[in-house]
Every structure is written in C-alpha cells, then in structure tokens.
C-alpha cells in the first residue's frame, strides 16, 4: 500500500511540476523573444487595480480570506488595418498581495495615453507593453521545482530500494564507485535485497543456524557448511529499470534541452512550428542517450549473481548471469575478509562485506543489507555467515577497515 501511495504522489506532483516548469520556460523564452517583436502605437482605454479574493482552504477558520491585487491595463492597437485589444503588461500576468504595489503600476498608465505596443508577428493578438519581463514566471518555475524535488526526495528516502531510485542508485554506484572501498576490480556490483516474499521459500528449508535472509543483500539458497553453500542475488526487476531509466532520462533531457536552447541556440521557443521541432529534437536525442545509458549500465551491473562453495567438488564458483567471474579450488582460499563499508558522512552508517581471498583475488560472498549506526552491529551480522564458512574452510578471518574497533 505504501508503494502505491508513494507512486501516486510522485506521478501526480511530478506531472504538475513538469507542467509548471514547461509553462515557466515557455514564458521566459517568450519574454526574451518579445524584445524583438515589431511595435505599433497603441492607446490606453483603462487602468485600474483589480482585487480578487483567494479561496480559503482551512475549514472552520474564522479568519478572513486574503486578497491578491493586480493592475488591469486595457489598450487597443492596430496591425495591418486589423484592430486588436490587449490587457497584458508582460507575457505572464503578475499578481501580488501588496495593493500599494499594484496601484503604483496602474498609476503609470492613464486613459487616452499613447503607448508603444509590442506584438507577436506570428499571432498579432498577443501583445505586451513591457517586453523582456516575464512577470510571475519565476514563481511558477520555483513552484514547479518544488513539485518535482519534494516528491522525488519523499520517494527516495521513504520508499527505499523498492521503487525507481533503484535505477538511480545503480547509476550512482557505477559512476562514483559506491563499493570501490571493498575491493579493486569489478567483482563487486550493486544489488538489492530480494523481497521477503521471494526469500521465504529458500529460508524455510534452511537450518535454524543459517544466516537470516533479511540480514544480507544476498539470499542464502543452500546452507550446509562442509557440503554446499549457495548465495544468490536475483536480477533487478526489468519493469523498474525501464521506468526508472525513462523518468531519469526525461528529467535530464528536459533540463538539458532548456540549457542547450538558452545557452547555445539563443533560446528555444514554442510558438512557431520550427521552434517546437527544434526543442523536441534536442529533447529526443538527450532522452535516448541518457535513458539508454542508464538502462544498459544498470542492467549490466545488476545482473543476477551466484556464489557457490561446493566441498564435494572442492570448488568455489562465482557467477554473474551464466558466466563464471571466478572459478577455482577451495584449497586456494587463503582467508575470509570481513570488511567495513561506511556510507555517508553526517552521520556515517555502516555495512559489512564478507570477501573470499583467493590467492590475492577478492570475491565478494555477501554484504549486509541494512545500514547500521554502530559498526559493531554490522560486523556481528557479517560474522554469522563468515564464522561457519571459515571453520569449514579451515581459514582465518581477517578484519579490514575496522580501525575504530581495534584495541
């Protein structure tokens, strides 16, 4: 239920946010273009302050509803013999709760006053008196960003690893090497703990002393130290990878198109067909590149993995998908390494990883699932898997990255 609610909040508010950002950008580009619009003389018909009551949203409150004010300036002008009426000072109407400010704007214009009217040559009925000013577009942009950022943070920090941030997290791990402290090479790859519903069948058949599935990102499929131990990670859900890649690609493409248009192409408008086509072309290219890269990289790094200790065959097999990343004799295992994996800065949280040292090459067997405030707790969880394995493999356990725990 929480997942559904978070998704609804995310989709609804982000859709509104994108619409507001699109509207604000449209007004910004139109305002910039209006400075180059042709001009004609015009005449003021009326100038006054309009007062509007804001609908009160607090039920049962006795406080009076607030008002907003704006200067209503009506004027007329002619283009190629055709008469038009206008009422816009800027490309977007500007309202304020300060009546004095609205009156100051209205006092600048008097009935019968001659003014210069800037009109859109593609749509002469669109005109302004103050070109280049975007009115309340900045407020619209800020509100749009809030509608996008707040629900996204809510999904990330409340929804956890079950929602689309899985894709963003995979991309972040790949780009900035979240697990780079654990080992060198490409043995460690980000993954998520399989849902409890998927882990229960495997755990139900395990002995009571087996490591708990919810404590590790890996699922313990077989736990018979001295005979066979099998740890696996399911591949990431394809639906979430596709959806997450599309969402991330959409946002990057949207903001990228705006920046490219404003910096390199002297603005990207939406009024004319060629301007819309140019914007959509930039958007399509950026979306394809970003979403494609994120999906392919996330899918590659998030492949299913399986680590098998087989005492009967005297073999350690570390697979990713169907190919073995490393395969060798159990006799080549020199030690097990329980390594600290701190995350964040303020405050620091801790995970622990159990690595198999095979002649200097480290293969990650398991990682604890939950971030812990105390490093001792993370190490204790890792030892529930490392100690039985070390006994049956007859190898020592080494601790790395736990300087704060060493006496």
pLDDT tens, residue by residue, 324-352 = 677 889 989 999 999 987 876 667 888 89
CA 147 to chain centre: 13
pLDDT band at 134 (very low <50, low <70, confident <90, very high): low
pLDDT of residue 389: 92
CA separation for the pair 258, 152 (Å, rounded):
21
Do 313 and 391 fall into the same domain?
yes
**Residue ending a domain, choose from 163, 181, 209:** 163
pLDDT of residue 170: 52
Do 207 and 356 fall into the same domain?
yes
pLDDT of residue 304: 79
CB 388 within 8 A of CB 394: no
Do 269 and 374 fall into the same domain?
no
Do 204 and 312 fall into the same domain?
yes
pLDDT of residue 130: 85
- The residue with tokens 């001659």 is 114
CA–CA distance from 109 to each of 52, 76, 84, 183, 341 (Å)?
21, 13, 18, 72, 67
| Beta-bridge partner residues of 368 | 216
Q: Is the dihedral of CA 370, 318, 364, 165 positive or negative?
A: negative
CA separation for the pair 364, 351 (Å, rounded):
13
| Beta-bridge partner residues of 119 | 127
pLDDT of residue 364: 86
E runs forming strands in 63-160: 67-79, 82-86, 114-120, 123-128
Do 313 and 394 fall into the same domain?
yes
pLDDT of residue 189: 35
Mean pLDDT lowest for which of 16-20, 94-98, 292-296, 389-393?
A: 94-98
The two beta strands, 323-329 and 333-343, are unpaired
Do 218 and 257 fall into the same domain?
no
Residue 133, classed as helix, strand or coil, is: coil
Q: How many domains does the chain have?
A: 4
pTM of the predicted model, to two decimals? 0.45
CA–CA distance from 236 to each of 165, 195, 217, 294, 398 (Å)?
12, 11, 12, 13, 31
* Average pLDDT for the chain: 75
Residue range of the domain that includes 77: 37-130
HSE, side-chain direction, 13 A CA sphere, residue 18? 14
| Beta-bridge partner residues of 47 | 73
Strand arrangement of the beta sheet that strand 333-343 belongs to: 361-367, 349-358, 333-343, 397-400
DSSP 19-64: HHHHHHHHHHHHHHHHTTS-EEEEEEEEEEEEEEEPPP-STT--SP
- In degrees, rounded to 5, the angle at the alpha carbon of residue 199 between the alpha carbons of residues 193 and 201 is 175
pLDDT of residue 176: 45
Do 313 and 294 fall into the same domain?
no
CATH number of the domain to which 124 belongs:
2.40.50
- Which residues are CB-neighbours of 271 under 8 A, at least 6 positions away? 30, 33, 120, 122, 123
Among 71, 72, 84, 81, smallest CA distance to 43 is for 84
**Residue ending a domain, choose from 282, 301, 320:** 301
- Angle between helix axes 165-176 and 238-263 (nearest 10 degrees) is 70
HSE, side-chain direction, 13 A CA sphere, residue 333? 30
Do 225 and 321 fall into the same domain?
yes
pLDDT band at 75 (very low <50, low <70, confident <90, very high): very high
Do 250 and 275 fall into the same domain?
yes
| Residue 9 burial (C-beta neighbours within 10 Å; 0-12, 13-18, 19+) | middle
Structure-token pair, residue 171: 């991309």
137-185: pLDDT as tens digits:
666 777 787 777 777 766 655 554 444 444 455 544 544 444 333 333 3
Looking at the chain, the whole-number percentage of residues with pLDDT higher than 90 is: 18
262-272: pLDDT as tens digits:
666 555 444 44
**Residue ending a domain, choose from 111, 145, 163:** 163
Do 115 and 95 fall into the same domain?
yes
Do 50 and 191 fall into the same domain?
no
Mean pLDDT for 95-121 is: 87
Between residues 236 and 16, the one the model is more confident about: 16
pLDDT of residue 336: 93
pLDDT of residue 287: 87
CA–CA distance from 142 to each of 139, 145, 247 (Å)?
5, 5, 20
Between residues 70 and 395, the one the model is more confident about: 395
Do 30 and 146 fall into the same domain?
yes
CA separation for the pair 71, 66 (Å, rounded):
17
211-264: pLDDT as tens digits:
876 788 888 888 889 999 988 887 777 777 787 788 778 777 877 777 776 666
Structure-token pair, residue 258: 């705006």
């Amino acid at each position: 239920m929480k997942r559904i609610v978070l998704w609804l909040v995310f989709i609804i508010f982000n859709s509104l946010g994108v619409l507001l950002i699109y509207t604000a950008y449209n007004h910004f580009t139109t305002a910039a273009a209006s400075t180059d619009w042709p001009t004609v003389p015009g005449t003021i018909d009326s100038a006054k302050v309009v007062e509007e009551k804001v609908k009160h949203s607090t039920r049962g409150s006795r406080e009076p509803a607030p008002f907003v004010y704006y200067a209503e300036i009506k004027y007329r002008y002619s283009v190629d013999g055709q008469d038009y009426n206008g009422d816009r000072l800027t490309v977007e109407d500007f309202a304020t709760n300060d009546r004095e400010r609205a009156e100051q704007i209205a006092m600048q214009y008097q009935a019968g006053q001659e003014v210069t009217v800037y009109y859109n040559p593609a749509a002469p009925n669109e005109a302004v008196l103050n070109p280049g000013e975007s009115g309340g577009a900045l407020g619209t942009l800020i509100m749009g960003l809030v509608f996008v950022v707040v629900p996204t943070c809510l999904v990330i920090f409340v929804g956890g690893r079950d929602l689309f941030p899985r894709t963003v997290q995979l991309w972040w791990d790949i780009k900035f090497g979240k697990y780079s402290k654990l080992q060198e090479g490409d043995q460690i790859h980000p993954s998520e703990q399989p849902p409890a519903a998927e882990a229960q069948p495997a755990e139900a058949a395990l002995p009571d002393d087996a490591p708990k599935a919810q404590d590790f990102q890996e699922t313990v499929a077989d736990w018979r130290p001295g005979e066979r131990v099998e740890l696996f990670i399911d591949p990431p859900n394809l639906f979430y990878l596709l959806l997450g890649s599309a969402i991330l690609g959409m946002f990057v493409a949207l903001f990228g198109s705006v920046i490219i248009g404003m910096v390199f192409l002297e603005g990207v408008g939406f009024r004319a067909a060629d301007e819309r086509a140019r914007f959509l072309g930039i958007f399509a290219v950026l979306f394809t590149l970003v979403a494609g890269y994120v999906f392919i990289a996330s899918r590659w790094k998030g492949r299913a993995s399986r680590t098998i200790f087989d005492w009967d065959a005297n073999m350690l097999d570390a697979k990713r998908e169907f190919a073995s990343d490393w395969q060798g004799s159990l006799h080549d295992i020199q030690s097990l390494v329980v390594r600290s994996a701190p995350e964040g800065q303020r405050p620091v949280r801790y995970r622990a990883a159990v690595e198999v040292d095979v002649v200097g090459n480290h293969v990650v067997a398991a990682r604890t699932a939950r971030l812990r405030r105390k490093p001792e707790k993370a190490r204790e969880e890792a030892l529930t898997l490392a100690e039985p394995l070390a006994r049956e493999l007859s190898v020592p356990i080494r601790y790395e990255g736990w300087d704060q725990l060493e006496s």
